[in-house]
Every structure is written in C-alpha cells, then in structure tokens.
C-alpha cells in the first residue's frame, strides 16, 4: 500500500533510489501522461496523441511508449534507453503534497516519497542527499520532473481548450501489422488535423502564438512519425529472443 512521507535531509540522509530494477511497475506501461512543458522534448522520441476520457470528456495528452499492453520499449534491465523520460515516470516514488497553514492563504508544498516503493533503499541506488545534506543531482532531476507536472496542470487546459475551440482535433486510428497474426490498433485517440491547422486565419494563428501553443501543435503533429521508431524497437527486441 502506498504511503506518503515528507522528505527531509535528516531522517532520510541515507535514502537511495534503485533505478535499475527490472520490476519498475510504474514504468511498465505502453503510454503515460505528457504535459505541455515537455512536449518540445518528448516529440523527438515518442508519438504524442490526445485522449478524451469517455467518462469525464476531459482531454489528456499521452506519450506512447509501447505497442502492446504493459510494454515499454524504452526501458531494459539497465534502465531507460531514451534521451528523454516523461515527467510522470521520471519522478519515481516522489510526489508533491500541499498543506494549508493557519496563518497563510496559500497551501505550502512539500516533497514526499512512498516508503513502500520497491525502489526505496538505504543501501543500493542513487543517493537522494549529498554527505553534507545538500541535494544530489538525482533529487534535482526529480524536482524538475515534478515541476513539469505542476506547471502542466496549470497550462495544459489552455492548449486543449484552444485546440477544441479552433476545431483542430480529429479522430485518428493507428493500425500496425507486426506479423500475420499480430496487429496493433490504437483507437479512441485524437490528433491534429493538419489541413485545419494550415487553414487557420492570421488572427487565430496569432492567438495560438500569443499563448505559446502554436509550436506545440506542430510538435505533436510531427511526433506521429515516431511510431516507426516503436516498430523498429519492437522488431529489434523480437530478434534477440
């Protein structure tokens, strides 16, 4: 069961995180949430698709990591094999919690971790703190990932709202035939309608640019070519079996 413990450099001075466990359950997924601040990086590595939750009708952005269920083609026994790691997975057992203080109108954020996570150790893995109590490079990396998530939570809706208002989203169905008896289908997803984007008026383009979303739409559109990388990785793994 997941537990939430506030991190500090006294009680947790020896805390380490094992980044090379083959059983990283939260990374064994074929898709994960992606956030606006990381689109510029993630589009170079992963296909990015919009998803509309059928229950709530809310829009999300997903980075596609694999072709089959619970398959991440970018990790192996030694860890991640990609230039960029989606923030949702890069933060590992860490999270941010907020506590409302009586004398403050704004809740204070606290960095927390799950003590029950299998990657947490006092003997093996990346150190969270330096010997004198400072933050390790790994912890700084985690905090950056969490900041991406926090910022994305604030600005993702701007991207989604503008894309819907301008009728730029269209259903997309990706069908990949890996063999005669193995076909992968990505349905229930949305992507950018390239023609609709090209036909936008100058005022609409200026509005997208004003909110910093115009380039993001082109990044998402270009990321579709990364499905070929998934196919190549899948084929390479099959060849070693």
pLDDT in tens, 120-166: 999 989 999 999 999 999 999 999 999 999 999 889 999 999 999 99
pLDDT in tens, 2-53: 778 999 999 999 999 988 765 466 788 999 999 999 999 999 999 999 998 8
Average pLDDT, integer, range 100-124: 83
Question: Residue 186 has what pLDDT?
Answer: 84
Which is higher by pLDDT, 107 or 37? 37
pTM: 0.90
Question: Residue 27 has what pLDDT?
Answer: 85
3-state secondary structure the chain: CCCCEECCCCCCCCCEECCCCCCCHHHCCCEEECCHHHHHHHCCCCCEEEEECCCCCCEEEEEECCCCCCCCCCEECCEECCCCCCHHHHCCCEEEEEECCCCCCCCEEEEEECCCCCCEECCCCEECECCCCCECHHHHHHHHHHHHHHHHHHHHHHHHHHHHHCCCEEEEEEEEEEECCEEEEEEEEEEECHHHHHCCCHHHHHHHHHCCCHHHHHHHHHHHHHHHHHHHHHHHHHHCC
How many domains does the chain divide into?
1
- Which residue range is the domain that position 147 belongs to? 5-239
């Amino acid at each position: 069961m997941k537990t939430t413990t506030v991190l500090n450099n006294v009680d947790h001075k020896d805390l380490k995180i094992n980044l090379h466990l083959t059983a990283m359950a939260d990374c064994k997924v074929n898709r994960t949430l992606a956030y606006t601040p990381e689109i510029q990086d993630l589009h170079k590595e992963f296909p990015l698709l919009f998803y509309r939750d059928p229950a709530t009708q809310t829009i999300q952005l997903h980075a596609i990591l694999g072709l089959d269920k619970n398959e991440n083609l970018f990790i192996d026994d030694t860890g991640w094999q990609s230039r960029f790691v989606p923030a949702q997975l890069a933060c590992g057992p860490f999270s941010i919690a907020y506590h409302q203080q009586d004398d403050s109108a704004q809740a204070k954020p606290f960095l927390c971790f799950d003590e029950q996570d299998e990657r947490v150790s006092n003997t093996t893995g990346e150190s969270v703190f330096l010997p004198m109590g400072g933050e390790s490079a790994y912890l700084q990396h985690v905090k950056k990932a969490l900041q991406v998530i926090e910022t994305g939570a604030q600005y993702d809706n701007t991207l989604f709202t503008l894309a819907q208002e301008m009728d730029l989203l269209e259903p997309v169905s990706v069908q990949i035939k890996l063999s005669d008896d193995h076909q992968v289908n990505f349905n229930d997803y949305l992507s950018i309608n390239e023609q609709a984007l090209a036909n936008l008026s100058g005022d609409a383009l200026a509005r997208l640019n004003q909110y910093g979303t115009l380039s993001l739409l082109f990044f998402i559109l270009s990321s579709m070519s990364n499905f070929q990388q998934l196919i190549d990785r899948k084929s390479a793994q099959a060849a070693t079996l």
